[in-house]
Amino acid sequence: MHSPLVEQFKAYFQDLRKSDLSQLEDLYERHIIFKDPIHKIEGLVPLQDYMHNLCTNLTECRFEYLDILEGQDCAYIKWIMHFRHPKLGNRLISLRGMSHIQFQEKIVFHEDVYDMGAMIYEQLPLLGRIIRWLRQRLAN
């Protein structure tokens, strides 16, 4: 059984488009540090702004949880994010990744790790074909 905070985290991000952004303050400390391959955000209000913009631009965003490794004050949560974005053809894209969270009473640090190439570059028509061709060549 996982800690209540980890379960709350999973439930919140299960379907991000349906999540209430005002509930982020129930999960995250006021001085939260959030990182992903594109951003480093410090503070709850900037994180709320980021999530608002993210939800506005996505037509679907849900997480399928694969595995969790939890310690006393941290957790590593492996997931597949299924999302649709109009600028990426609005087709369903599935991306594997992992969240590392550190917490006390609330989350103080959250880092998402995923393959940026698989998320964006491989979804672009010409560049995607080139990247897939290169991956295939390197695998052989």
Task: Look at residue 2 in the predicted model and tell me its pLDDT.
Answer: 83
Q: How far apart (Å, rounded) are the C-alpha atoms in residues 15 and 82?
A: 9
Please tell me whether residue 58 adopts helix, strand or coil conformation. Answer: coil
Ordered per-residue pLDDT tens for the chain, 140 residues? 789 999 999 999 999 888 888 899 999 999 999 999 889 999 999 999 999 988 887 889 999 999 999 999 999 999 999 988 887 778 888 889 999 999 999 999 999 998 766 555 555 556 556 656 666 766 76
Task: Look at residue 57 in the predicted model and tell me its pLDDT.
Answer: 79
Half-sphere exposure of 91 (CA within 13 A, CB side): 8
Q: How far apart (Å, rounded) are the C-alpha atoms in residues 112 and 103?
A: 15
pLDDT tens-digit map of 57-84: 788 999 999 999 999 999 999 999 998 8
Task: Look at residue 32 in the predicted model and tell me its pLDDT.
Answer: 98
How far from 134 is each of 25, 29, 40, 112, 115, CA to CA, in Å? 43, 42, 30, 26, 15
- Identify each DSSP E strand in 15-106 by its residue range: 28-35, 40-42, 60-70, 74-84, 93-103
Contact at 8 Å (CB) between 62 and 80? no
The two beta strands, 28-35 and 107-114, are parallel
